[in-house]
Amino acid sequence: LLGGKGANLAEMASLDLPVPPAFTITTEACNRYLNEERQLWPELVAEIEQHLEGIEEKTGRRLGDPENPLLVSVRSGAKFSMPGMMDTILNLGINDDTVAGLARLTGDERFTLDSQRRFIDLFSRVVLQIPGDAFEEVLDKWRRKEAVATDAELSLSALREVVAEYRQIAEEKSGERFPTDARDQMKRAITAVFSSWNNPRAIAYRNHEGVPHDLGTAANVQAMVFGNAGEDSATGVAFTRDPATGERRLYGEYLPNAQGEDIVAGIRTPKTVENLQQEMPVLYDELAAIAQRLEQHFRDAQDIEFTIERKKLYMLQTRSAKRTAAAAVRMAVEMVGEGLINRRDAIERVSADDINKLVVPVFKDEAKAVAVSEKRMIGKGLNASPGAASGLLVFDSDEADARAKSGQAVILAREETSADDIHGIFAARGVLTARGGMTSHAAVVTRGLGKPAVVGWSEAHIDVRKKVLSVNGTTVHEGDPVSIDGATGEVFTGEIETFVRRPEQISGFGELLAWADGERKLGVRTNADSPEDARRAVEFGAEGIGLCRTEHMFFAPDRVERIKGLLQNAEAFASLQGRVESLEAELAAVPSGGRAEIEKRLHIAHIEFESHAEVRAYRKALAEMEEFQCDDFAGLLRVLEGRPLTIRLLDAPAHEFGLHEANPMLGHRGSRLGITHPGVYEMQMRAIVRASVEVKREGVEVHPEVMVPLIGHVNEMRGLRARLVKVTAQTLAELGAPGLIEFKIGTMIEVPRAALTAAAIAPEVSFFSFGSNDLTQMTFGFSRDDTGRFLPTYLEQEILPADPFVTLDVDGVGRLIRLATDEGRKANPDLKVGICGEHGGDAASVLFCQDAGLDYVSCSPYRVPGARLAAAQAALSTGGRRDV
């Protein structure tokens, strides 16, 4: 009801912290205004008046009183923080009647005039909807006229002119007299703040962050305190812990003689709080003590806004601090150590997305060394948000968005960013700005998104109109590749290859995930096809491979031709073999008298078959592939050291190998290929058996699980299973190893019919693994390959709540999964059930999988840590704990 800002102001006030008096108008009132009234209704106006009088009483000043004027701010503040997306008005209550009184009261005409011009500027932008450039131009003009660098240096007479010109612009552009009545100004400010809930950037932000659109914003009306009241005044932002690293220390910035908007806009470069410690030690100590108190109270790191007005400290805001993924983990783990929270809190505090971000890319050492030796490093800005990225430089957010949509990686460069750049920031791989500090818009937004950013790179000249960046004699144009490292602040020309950190290099990572493992019920496996991927996944905590896509083992250039040849020659092989087989059948059916003729034809068919070039090519390709596969599987088994290895038999959609088929995703792939060309699966099965025996004989435990893809009917499974069992027995016998190893045989459930007939299929297999990618494709009838043309519209129009290929569609696809799991288990109580579609790494889908009773999820290596955490959060959310 109070929104984050309002609730926490109230909380701080109840802790007796120095908060300027305020009242909050609820989100409920906002919604009533937006949806029903469209104006402030009499009861609300009366309440506002009553609470305003409360502020007047506490401060001893009155809004609009020429002798003793009160100024207030009117600020937005929703349940979820939406930094900079909605509107705020400061210095309300200043007009020609009060300006003289205020100057007298403060003894500072400069400050008064400065406040007045800020108010006209903000009120014009927010309430009168006048674009801000015109005001900027006036200030610029006067700075040039007086040859000064900052607004603070303008002469009094210049400031007076600025105020007059501002008002003139406002009146010209709005076509109305600038409102003078303070109470009227306040009401208009409140409705503007309410309306800003629905401005386009706020809507875009909510769409991206998944924040509901019907929450509304609260409006906070608060007595102003002034950080711009002279050199003994300041405004600042501080974090109780370092938001980039998580280190426990007061961290922040402030600007002397300035208002809050200056620090966020990044117009002047702020000082660090360490400076405050030297310059105003008493206030620093007070701030540090309050920071500590807030952390204890909220049991979380806080992001606080403060103002010093003539040596008196005021707290204007506190909220849970946004932090990098690395900081989130470190803070959570250290807070457990400090006794501030418990382990379960820690698990719940870090999101699966965050933990996955931790393994973000950094530059490869060698690649960076080359870039350095080639003198491609062109400078260094502030290291605002970690991660390394390369891309083509663009200077405009629309351009960034358009290029990203056409598949280009881009780096967005701006002088500074504002909320209007949000789509460009979303689209870019990384962000670069010339101005602004560590708490500027660009820094805060990218940190939240887990995107690299280098900000406040003041030596660089970023000319967004000419689309060039120039620095130390180098110029970079739009479309040129650049690389940035948001962890060091370095900027390079050209591309630099990146890689990802090892888990043990990340503070708190191991502990947090170990705690998570103690809580979760679901197993976590990985989808990996190479020993390197498998090794990385095991380092990330994977308990085995849940999906090895064997067709991926043939993407290497020297192999892809073989598999193409195999698939092409398979047809000829099958038809010639078919002839032999039908003659054999004919022969078996006739009485011994009439066989000579058939025997002769069979003999010829045999010879033709054996000598046919395509048959030979097919067999050669199969034999070569068997050797490759044997090595591939042995490599994986060695890395896994006894963890299960689920090998999915070949499922090669024709188009992935450059072959043509009308509907490749619904075509001759998976078990269909296995049935028409049994040699392929037989070859793979032999390779699996040979590799398993080889590795087991080296003394390494092996647990191979063989998985048949794209089953829709139990008879597909029955026939294939019989062949696989036969080949297994034969190969084991040939190797002198009968009974040495158990080979589990299971199936993917990825065709809706398979899910619906799970009871028939389950007795034929040891396990089910939901191929939720195909199951989603076939349940919706959306092709996996080209949903891009309509799915964005579906999401925009909220026809679907989320992309069903990312977050499992619980109601439809999920229903099939539940049904297949339940009926499968009824028919085969020993059935193991997992999921290996992309959903296995998505936190919401993981929660569903636990609820549906699955045994494990399997996802790509980088998502394994997130899946472990999500599985623990799922377990905690249902109060359960793994039975160990």
Q: Residue 750 interacts with Mg ion (CB under 5 A)?
A: yes
Minimum distance of ligand PEP from residue 359's CB (angstroms): 22
Minimum distance of Mg ion from residue 188's CB (angstroms): 58
Q: Is 836 a catalytic residue?
A: yes
User: Which tokens in the block code for residue 731?
Assistant: 């190969």
With respect to ligand PEP, which residue has the nearer C-beta, 24 or 772?
Answer: 772
Q: Which of 441, 552, 677, 839 is catalytic?
A: 441
With respect to Mg ion, which residue has the nearer C-beta, 675 or 795?
Answer: 675
Q: Residue 236 interacts with Mg ion (CB under 5 A)?
A: no
Three-state DSSP at 859 gives strand
With respect to Mg ion, which residue has the nearer C-beta, 334 or 774?
Answer: 774
Minimum distance of Mg ion from residue 750's CB (angstroms): 5
Minimum distance of Mg ion from residue 746's CB (angstroms): 14
Partner whose footprint covers residue 547, from Mg ion, ligand PEP, none (CB < 5 to 8 Å by kind): ligand PEP
Minimum distance of Mg ion from residue 837's CB (angstroms): 7
With respect to ligand PEP, which residue has the nearer C-beta, 106 or 783?
Answer: 783
Q: Which residue has the tokens 């990098």?
A: 324
User: Which tokens in the block code for residue 794?
Assistant: 């579906």
Partner whose footprint covers residue 548, from Mg ion, ligand PEP, none (CB < 5 to 8 Å by kind): none
Of 73-81, 153-161, 209-217, 771-779, the segment contacting ligand PEP by CB under 6 A is 771-779
Minimum distance of ligand PEP from residue 760's CB (angstroms): 21
Q: Residue 845 interacts with ligand PEP (CB under 6 A)?
A: no
Minimum distance of ligand PEP from residue 679's CB (angstroms): 21
The only residue of 220, 772, 779, 873 in contact with ligand PEP, by rule CB under 6 A: 772
Q: Is 441 a catalytic residue?
A: yes
With respect to Mg ion, which residue has the nearer C-beta, 295 or 750?
Answer: 750
Other CB atoms closer than 10 Å to residue 465's CB: what's the count?
7
The only residue of 77, 837, 861, 866 in contact with ligand PEP, by rule CB under 6 A: 837
With respect to ligand PEP, which residue has the nearer C-beta, 236 or 771?
Answer: 771
With respect to ligand PEP, which residue has the nearer C-beta, 735 or 802?
Answer: 802
CA triplet 693, 696, 698: central angle to 5 degrees? Answer: 110
DSSP state of 805: T
**CA dist., res. 69 & res. 96, Å (int):** 11
Number of residues that bind Mg ion (CB under 5 A): 3
Q: Which of residues 346-375 bind ligand PEP (CB under 6 A)?
A: none
With respect to ligand PEP, which residue has the nearer C-beta, 414 or 549?
Answer: 549
Helix (H) or strand (E) holding 123: helix 109-126
Minimum distance of ligand PEP from residue 777's CB (angstroms): 7
Partner whose footprint covers residue 772, from ligand PEP, Mg ion, none (CB < 5 to 8 Å by kind): ligand PEP
DSSP secondary structure, 163-198, as one string: HHHHHHHHHHHHSSPPP--HHHHHHHHHHHHHHGGG
Strand partners, 75: 88, 220
Give the x/- contact pattern for Mg ion in 754-773, rule: CB under 5 A: -----------------x--
**CA dist., res. 708 & res. 446, Å (int):** 43
- Phi, psi for residue 514 in degrees, rounded to 5: -65, -40
Other CB atoms closer than 10 Å to residue 480's CB: what's the count?
14
C-alpha torsion 171→174→175→180, nearest 10: -50
Three-state DSSP at 432 gives strand
The only residue of 244, 352, 360, 547 in contact with ligand PEP, by rule CB under 6 A: 547
DSSP state of 839: G
Identify the burial level of 279 via C-beta atoms within 10 angstroms of its C-beta, where 0-12 means exposed, 13-18 middle and 19 or more buried: middle
Q: Which of 30, 548, 630, 836 is catalytic?
A: 836
Contacts of residue 288, defined as CB under 8 A and 6 or more positions apart, other chains included, come to 250
Number of residues that bind ligand PEP (CB under 6 A): 10
**CA dist., res. 705 & res. 546, Å (int):** 9
Q: Residue 771 interacts with ligand PEP (CB under 6 A)?
A: yes
Q: Which of residues 640-659 bind ligand PEP (CB under 6 A)?
A: 651
Q: Which of residues 434-463 bind Mg ion (CB under 5 A)?
A: none
Q: Which of residues 443-502 bind ligand PEP (CB under 6 A)?
A: none
With respect to ligand PEP, which residue has the nearer C-beta, 48 or 547?
Answer: 547
Of the candidates 719, 740, 629, 723, the one whose C-alpha atom is nearest the C-alpha of residue 682 is 723
Q: Residue 750 interacts with ligand PEP (CB under 6 A)?
A: yes
Q: What CA–CA distances, in Å, run from 270 to 236, 304, 438, 520?
A: 9, 16, 9, 45
Q: Which residue has the tokens 């849940």?
A: 546
Sheet containing 312-320, strands listed edge to edge, beginning at the edge strand earlier in sequence: 271-272, 251-256, 234-239, 302-309, 312-320
Contacts of residue 516, defined as CB under 8 A and 6 or more positions apart, other chains included, come to 347, 868, 869, 871, 872, 873
User: Which tokens in the block code for residue 581?
Assistant: 């087989």
Helix (H) or strand (E) holding 703: strand 703-708
Minimum distance of Mg ion from residue 661's CB (angstroms): 16
**CA dist., res. 791 & res. 168, Å (int):** 48
Q: Residue 108 interacts with ligand PEP (CB under 6 A)?
A: no
Q: What CA–CA distances, in Å, run from 871 to 820, 844, 846?
A: 21, 10, 6
Partner whose footprint covers residue 549, from ligand PEP, Mg ion, none (CB < 5 to 8 Å by kind): ligand PEP
The bridge status of strand 703-708 relative to strand 744-749 is parallel
User: Which tokens in the block code for residue 47?
Assistant: 């309440």
Minimum distance of Mg ion from residue 547's CB (angstroms): 9
Give the x/- contact pattern for ligand PEP in 773-812, rule: CB under 6 A: xx--------------------------------------
Minimum distance of Mg ion from residue 549's CB (angstroms): 9
Could you tell me if 61 and 225 are in contact, meaning their C-beta atoms sit under 8 angstroms apart? Answer: no
Where residue 823 falls (left for φ over 0; alpha for ψ -120 to 50; beta otherwise) is alpha
The only residue of 262, 295, 396, 774 in contact with Mg ion, by rule CB under 5 A: 774
Identify the burial level of 371 via C-beta atoms within 10 angstroms of its C-beta, where 0-12 means exposed, 13-18 middle and 19 or more buried: buried
Partner whose footprint covers residue 325, from ligand PEP, Mg ion, none (CB < 5 to 8 Å by kind): none
Of the candidates 568, 300, 816, the one whose C-alpha atom is nearest the C-alpha of residue 839 is 816
The only residue of 549, 643, 863, 868 in contact with ligand PEP, by rule CB under 6 A: 549
Q: Which of residues 536-575 bind Mg ion (CB under 5 A)?
A: none
Q: In whole angstroms, what separates CA 851 from the centre of its chain?
A: 24
Q: Residue 708 interacts with ligand PEP (CB under 6 A)?
A: no
Partner whose footprint covers residue 139, from ligand PEP, Mg ion, none (CB < 5 to 8 Å by kind): none
With respect to ligand PEP, which residue has the nearer C-beta, 639 or 859?
Answer: 859
Of 50-58, 149-157, 742-750, 758-766, the segment contacting Mg ion by CB under 5 A is 742-750
Binding site for Mg ion (CB under 5 A): 750, 771, 774
Binding site for ligand PEP (CB under 6 A): 547, 549, 651, 750, 771-774, 836-837
Q: Annotated active-site positions, please?
A: 441, 836
